[in-house]
Every structure is written in structure tokens, then in C-alpha cells.
Chain A
Amino acid sequence: MKKLCIFIEHKDGVPTSNSQKILYMAQMLKKQYGYRIIAIVMEQNSESFIEYLKTIEVDEIYFVTLNEKNKLLFLKEEIDNLVCFLKEINPEVAWATNSSCYRILFPKVAYSLHTGLCAACSDFKYDEDSGRINMVRTVFSNNAYAQISVHRSRPVMATILDEKGTYNLERNLTFPEIHDITDRILLIRDNQAIKIMKELESINLDKSQIVIGLGNGIHDKSDMDLFEKLSRLLNHAAIGGTRELINRQILPQNCQIGSTGTQIFADIYIGFGISGSPQHMQGIEHVKKIIAVNNDPYASIFQHADYGIVGDMYEVANYMINYLGGKDT
């Protein structure tokens, strides 16, 4: 039987939306083409997640218990161990979430396995002729979908894009086998070498109800004060932006919204000084209400917004602040 390995993650025992999507895709592959689903969980405190996985349709579960917050810092030898393990399993397909952990780990594993890796895929296609699984991803510069094949090696590796849908997962009929492979994969770490310094403030772009998006229309980093003020008045709306602002070092990397940043699912998105590139739009396509502010009436963001305001972003922001300030107190 062909095997499919999926590397999935959880938050407090519940699969992340990205993992749900992978589980859903895996179950389709199983149902339609008879693949055996092997779930691999490498995290801390996964007990309740594994309990959950037992209840849905997967065939085997392997888990690695990480005891520290050093998921992104797998050591060389640990990666070699993981590679050995995968060689033994010998899957046809291996998918992982598009989290920062697997965006780093998967290129390493793929290189060691001498196989192809497709990044940030949104779907798969079964090729009837060859019996192969091809991956589908958007190619950004021409705003198109590409089908990518891993044509001469196994497994077909891919990271899967988070698209926060609702997925109805199949319940399990048989009890999956469960294996603890922690000792096989992890080395005893020299804790002296790794020091966790301080928790950074985490930004909840993907969980905020209101998101303020900033684009190249912003003149200067100091203007952030204005939009931070607006954010406070909008129930602490999260602030994100286009890649331009990451490049200009006005916003940190984790604030980037778009195909190569975060996807957001807010109720309201207010975009200031954003032209509406397809890469950016991909990040906000699931927003319920899009409001665009741009001084160029022909900006393409207006076509994809629910409300368009033609005007200077600073004037509009100041207006909103006054409006809300009156109401807020």
C-alpha cells in the first residue's frame, strides 16, 4: 500500500487550521486512491492532540516529544535521524504544514532524501496516467496556478498553504498504531548552548477581528504612531502590511500579509495606501469586509474591496481617529 506521511501541528490539543487542511487532503488521498496515512507529530505537550488523532481517520501515529521551545533548532544529527526514519517508512508522499518550523525542516529533509520539494502548495492533483501525485501552487509573478511534478524521485514532498477553511474530517473506524520515536530522533541536548532569552510580543494577525493593513503610501516609520493610535481605538486592531513595508523595515517580517506572509481571516480589513497586488490580495481574500483607502482612484485594490475611499490615507486615518475618539470616551 502506498504511504503518505503528514507532519502536523496543534495548539492546545486542537489541530491548527493548516493541519486540518492537511488531514483533509490526506483523507481524500486515502479514500480515493487507497493511501495509508501516517501522521507525525513533533511538539511539546501533544498528549491531548494524539488522543484527538486517535478518533479520526489516520492509520499510524508517530510522535516526538520536544521538551523545550526549540522546534526551529533541530540539530544536524537530529535531521539525519529523521531522514533515516523516513527512509524506513518509504512514503510516496510527504506533506507538512507551512509553519516556520517545516519551512526550514522540509528543505533540509528533501535535500538529504534527494527528492523534490514544492513550497506553499494549495492542492494536489492525481495524474491518472502515471499514478503520480502532482502538487498545485500559485506562481506569484504571473498570478497563475502551476502544477508541479516530482518526476524522478520519491517521496513527493510539499509544504501546504494554510487556507483556513472548515474541513469535515472522517471519524476513525479502526484504532491507529501509535509509536513514540522521541529517543530515535532527538539527541540529548547541551542546554548551555541554547539559551532562551525573552518572549517577544506575539502578533495575532490571523486571529484579530479588525486588521489595519499598511502599504507603500506610508511616508515614514514615525507615521506608525498615527496608525497605532487608530489601532487602539479599533479595539486594538492588529497592524500588518505589504511586503514593501517589510523591505523598508517599517514593519517586522511577521507582519507581512499575503501569499508569502500571513493569511488573515478578519471581519474587517482596512487597507491604507495599498495598491492591491495579487500577492497581497491572496492574504486578505477570506476577509469578510475589505475597506480600501487610496489616493489613486484607479488602484486595483478598489476592484477587490467592499468599500473604496479615494483620498489621502493620512487624512482618512485622522478622520477615523477623531470619529472614534469622540465615540470612544
Chain B
Amino acid sequence: MYIIVCVKQVKNYNLEKRKTSANSGSNDMFHNPVDLMALAWAMKLKQMYGFKVITISMGPLNAKSQVRLLYSYGVDRAVLLSSKTLAGSDTYATSYALGELIRNYFSDYSMILCGDKTLDSETGQVPHSLAMALGVSSYSNIVEILRKEDCFEVTCEVESDRVKMTEKDKLLCTVTQGPKDYVNLPAIKNIIDSESKEVEILTSKDLKVKDEVVGQKGSYTKVISLHEKNFVTRRKQQNIVFSEEKMGMLMKVILGESL
């Protein structure tokens, strides 16, 4: 019985701008924050029902030290799928590769948890495509997960409703927030233990698929041109520095007509 959590290491582009290429390392990567919230749900389920928790990440090899840190949250196994051939994957190719990884090595999972989107691309497509790749249902905006007999009972927010679903089969859930009553912080003991733990590295070879179906070659979209976007510069007046009398005047101007 285990739960898979997909955790992406995203790049800190601001940091990257400030750095020269000479000293770029894994320090400019961090875990996609909402993926850690997905991890918090998994750890809560581990505590309540005894599931094991496996994290899966896909990215460059220098993400390894970041991935190892996932052990400090109490993760049982941390897996990094990394290959040059996987670089440049679009959402389709990413979902495909993750799907093959899970199908080949972790097919006995009970549930997959994902953050709803990543900081660096924000498309939010991968979880739902991954669900399709594995042929399971996916639910988003999860606010509660319970285990009832051999089913999961998940509650999700659908537009302005809360909907409760019972699912007997495997399923994939995306979250935008962590569980209300559970905080997921690295424990000292786990931090120490994590140093002796190894990240399990798998490559595209291990996926047992042809190179043509992954990475850039396996992608169905490509960016063909880029040009800059500018916003309107609107302000004609100088900024005012906050003071009571200046504000009084401004309030009339600002709100005069509308109140």
C-alpha cells in the first residue's frame, strides 16, 4: 500500500539572472511549493492509515540533492527520473514518461497526489494527462481525503460546491492547499537520516521505450517564436507620499464618483 507524490524541482529564474553560469548548481532549484502540499496530504495519510510514501521527480541530475531532502519529510523512497533524452518534454511527453515510470515500477500504488500546477509553467496539464496515461480518474481541488474500508472518500471543491466522491479504484488527486490539520515539517531525526539515504535514479532506458517517444521528440507542441510584451504605462501624476492632507484630496479624486 503506497501513495505516489509527484514533486517537481523548479528553477529559480531570478537567482539565475544574478548568477554567472560558472556557479550554477542545484542551489537554484527548489521544490514546487504546492507539490509539498501534496506531500503533506500523503504524509497525513501515512500517519492515519500506514501508507508508504514514494516521491517521483523528473528533472536534471543536479536536482538530486534537492530530491534527497525529501527524505527529511519522512518519505520512504525518493525517485528521480533523469536523462538527457527527457529534456525539452512538453506536457504530453512529461505525462507519458511519468506514466511509463509508474506503470513499470510502481504500478501497485493506491493513489497519486500532485500539486495542481508548477511555479515555472503553470499550465496545470500534467496531472490530468498523467491520469489519462494511467487510465485512472483524477479529481482536483481536494479538501479532504479519507479511507473508508477499501475505498477512498475524497471531497473536492467544484466551482462553488463541495462534492464528495467515493472511489474504489486507483485515483489521482491534485491539491491547491495542504490538509488543514496537519503540518508537514522536516523532523530532525529524518534530516539526519536523510543524509545516509540515496535517491533512486532511473533513466529513460529504464522506461523501456524508444527515445523517439520521449523528450523533445515525443512532444506534440513546440515554441516557434518569442517576442516581448509591454504593459501600458499609465501614470501621469507623481506619486504622493502618504500624509493625511494629501490623502484627503486623493480620496475624493479616487472615490468621488463611485461612492
Contacts and interface: CB of A to CB of B under 8 A. Distances in A.
B163 A148 contact: no
A194 B242 contact: no
Interface in B96-122: 116-117, 120, 122
A139 B120 CA distance: 10
Interface in B17-54: 33-34
Contacts of B196: none
A117 B240 contact: no
A303 B235 contact: yes
A149 B157 CA distance: 34
A111 interface: yes
B58 to A, nearest CB: 16
A76 B90 contact: no
Nearest to A316: B242
B248 to A, nearest CB: 7
Interface in A264-279: 267-268, 270, 278
Nearest to A139: B226
B235 A306 contact: yes
Interface in A287-310: 289-291, 297, 302-310
Contact of B140 (A72, A247, A278): A72
Interface string B217-256: 0011111111111011111111111101001101101110
B91 interface: yes
A104 B235 contact: no
Contact of B224 (A104, A115, A147, A289): A147
Interface stretch (A47-55, A161-169, A212-220, A319-327): A319-327
A197 B161 contact: yes
A244 to B, nearest CB: 11
Contact of A148 (B167, B224, B251): B224
Contact of A320 (B129, B135, B251): B251
Contacts of A201: 160
A142 to B, nearest CB: 8
Interface in B157-197: 157-167, 176-178
Interface string B55-97: 0000000000000000000000000000000000011100100
B132 interface: yes
B201 to A, nearest CB: 26
Interface in A82-105: 100, 103-105
User: Chain A binding site: helix, strand, loop or mixed by DSSP?
Assistant: mixed
B166 A70 contact: no
A114 interface: yes
B125 interface: yes
Interface residues of B, number: 77
Contacts of A270: 254
Contact of B231 (A72, A291, A304): A304
Contact of B244 (A69, A134, A319): A319
B222 A149 contact: yes
A145 B226 contact: yes
Contacts of A134: 224
Contact of B222 (A148, A202, A315): A148
A310 B123 contact: no
A149 B163 contact: no
B42 to A, nearest CB: 18
A116 B220 contact: yes
Contacts of B135: 76
A75 interface: yes
Contacts of A79: 132
Given A111-B132, A116-B90, A307-B235, A147 B225 contact: yes
A117 B92 contact: yes
Contact of B95 (A111, A148, A281): A111
Interface of B: 13, 33-34, 90-92, 95, 116-117, 120, 122-129, 131-133, 135-141, 155-167, 176-178, 219-229, 231-242, 244, 247-248, 250-251, 253-255, 258-259
8 contacts: A73-B165, A76-B135, A147-B223, A151-B220, A194-B164, A289-B254, A307-B254, A308-B239
Given A71-B159, A247-B33, A320-B247, 5 more contacts: A148-B222, A150-B221, A194-B163, A267-B258, A306-B236
